Amino acid sequence: MKMIEGGVCAAKGFSAGGIHCGIRKNRTKRDLALIVSEKKAAAAAVYTTNLVKGAPLTVTKKHISDGYAQAVICNSGNANTCNANGIEIAEQMSFLLAEKLGIDASDVIVGSTGVIGQPLDITPIKDGMAELCASVNGNGSSEAAEAIMTTDTVKKEVAVEFEIGGKICHLGGIAKGSGMIHPNMATMLVFITTDCSISPEMLQKALSGDIKNTFNMVSVDGDTSTNDMVSVLANGLAGNEMITEDNDDFKAFMKALNTVTMALCRILAGDGEGATKLLECKVEGAKTEAIAKTVAKSIICSSLTKAAMFGADANWGRVLCAIGYSGADVDVTKIDVYFESTKGKILVCKNGAGVDFSEETAKEILLEKEIDILVFLNDGDFNATAWGCDLTYDYVKINGDYRT
């Protein structure tokens, strides 16, 4: 398997594009994205568990209930959530696109991201539909990735090439963060495409299995969004024998999917709102996988740990504290903690108590952009990894006045 360029256009038969249609006031920021497959594709998606659900998610769920879809339309600048006519607007977006592309409205996946609770005007979307459809091309992944960005500071695209049954397959995705990120069962907006041939059932199985260890282990701010969604379209153009069961081909597909989603997780976490650092917390030696995950996520979510990392302060007591209140069954007296970056690795806590360490070395390690927090529970054989970011002045700034 190798990493390649191309994002959602890396897979055969997919094209994409993005335009500014006028949902956002800033005319230099694209706000409407489109991804199209030249043939109908197997489709799978996972959604937020927030009881307040964006209208586009309800519509998408209905549309892909038959296991297939052919296009994705997604706007930024407005979440189309908590609006009286949200469903109607999301259906109109599907209908207008389907009409222009000559496909069924029920083969459209719809996404929206932005402010909650402000009616989404269909006019700019309707007026921009011709331009949007004209914008798609085989190199358009970047424009689509741009068009779904909100407070993101970098475009998020990843793709891989892999082989199944002698056939070259491709799988790529685009994602947006970067606040209200604390997925639970599903997450933020991620659109993935592949030319691998796989049945809708196995595609859903692959996605549902994957996110438990990838997107569901990311947190920027503990706030689970209303509009989180990850979808995958698989159009089968790679020509491999269709994957219909949990065999070696399925495992190879899972590996490709996991490579892309894990890379997107790291980009998402590192570009969390206001973030200056990517935090990766690796927990080893837990009695169960659930314990390992709970501990890793508790640390990544701790405001105090996040702020300490922003200040490059080796305040490992914050880490121990977060482990202690996580609710996980651990033996505190067995815990070892290290901080690590490209500058080195330092032991700061042994058997649940502090050890002498060089504050200077620790500072040097923690001043890097990517920090690993390594926790050894020394209590079993299960591991987990979670991704997050530091808590910064800019997070407060961005969210102190998000709407204006």
Closest CA to 59 of 24, 97, 5: 97
- Quick one: 68 or 316, whose CB is closer to a second copy? 316
269: tokens are 């976490």
Separation of alpha carbons 163 and 150, rounded Å: 35
Residue 106 identity: S
Give the bridge partners for 42, in sequence order.
68, 234
**Lookup result for tokens 């620790």:** 362
Please say whether the beta carbons of 15 and 177 come within 8 A.
Answer: no
Residue 112 touching a second copy (CB under 8 A): no
Task: To the nearest 10°, report the CA torsion of 365, 366, 369, 372.
Answer: 80
- Minimum CB–partner distance for residue 256 and a second copy (Å): 31
Instruction: Tell me what percent of the chain is helix, strand and coil, each rounded to the nearest 5.
Output: 35, 30, 35
Which parts of 275-380 are beta strand (E)?
278-286, 336-341, 344-350, 353-354, 370-376
How many positions of this chain bind a second copy (CB under 8 A)? 64
- Quick one: 46 or 237, whose CB is closer to a second copy? 46
The secondary structure element, H or E, covering residue 271 is none
Candidates 91-99, 206-214, 339-347, 393-401; binding stretch for a second copy (CB under 8 A)? 393-401
Residue 239 touching a second copy (CB under 8 A): no
- Minimum CB–partner distance for residue 366 and a second copy (Å): 11
399 CB-near residues (< 8 Å, 6+ apart): 179, 273
Candidates 35-43, 238-246, 302-310, 367-375; binding stretch for a second copy (CB under 8 A)? 302-310
**Interface residues for a second copy in 253-292 (CB under 8 A)?**
none
Give the bridge partners for 125, in sequence order.
none
x-marked contacts with a second copy along 345-374 as a string, rule CB under 8 A: ----x--xxx--------------------
| Three-state SS at 168 | strand
Residue 397 touching a second copy (CB under 8 A): yes
DSSP output for 37-101: EEEEEEEEEEE---SS--HHHHHHHHHGGGSEEEEEEEEESB---S-TTHHHHHHHHHHHHHHHH
Among 315, 361, 378, 383, binds a second copy (CB under 8 A): 315
Among 134, 242, 290, 396, binds a second copy (CB under 8 A): 396
x-marked contacts with a second copy along 183-222 as a string, rule CB under 8 A: -x------------------------------------xx
**Interface residues for a second copy in 41-100 (CB under 8 A)?**
48-53, 79, 81-84
- Minimum CB–partner distance for residue 171 and a second copy (Å): 30
Q: Which of 187, 194, 305, 392 does the annotation list as catalytic?
A: 187
- Quick one: 13 or 274, whose CB is closer to a second copy? 274
Give the bridge partners for 175, in sequence order.
156, 190
- Quick one: 99 or 223, whose CB is closer to a second copy? 223
- Minimum CB–partner distance for residue 71 and a second copy (Å): 28
- Minimum CB–partner distance for residue 345 and a second copy (Å): 19
- Minimum CB–partner distance for residue 111 and a second copy (Å): 17
| Three-state SS at 278 | strand
- Quick one: 31 or 273, whose CB is closer to a second copy? 273
- Quick one: 223 or 246, whose CB is closer to a second copy? 223
- Quick one: 162 or 310, whose CB is closer to a second copy? 310
β-pairing, 189-194 vs 229-234, is parallel
**Lookup result for tokens 């004209």:** 134
187 catalytic per annotation: yes
Please say whether the beta carbons of 37 and 194 come within 8 A.
Answer: no
Give the bridge partners for 161, in sequence order.
2, 170
The secondary structure element, H or E, covering residue 250 is helix 248-270
Provide the annotated active-site residues: 187
- Interface ranges with a second copy (CB under 8 A): 48-53, 79, 81-84, 115-119, 179-180, 182, 184, 221-226, 301-304, 307-308, 310-311, 313, 315-318, 320-325, 330, 332, 349, 352-354, 391-393, 395-404
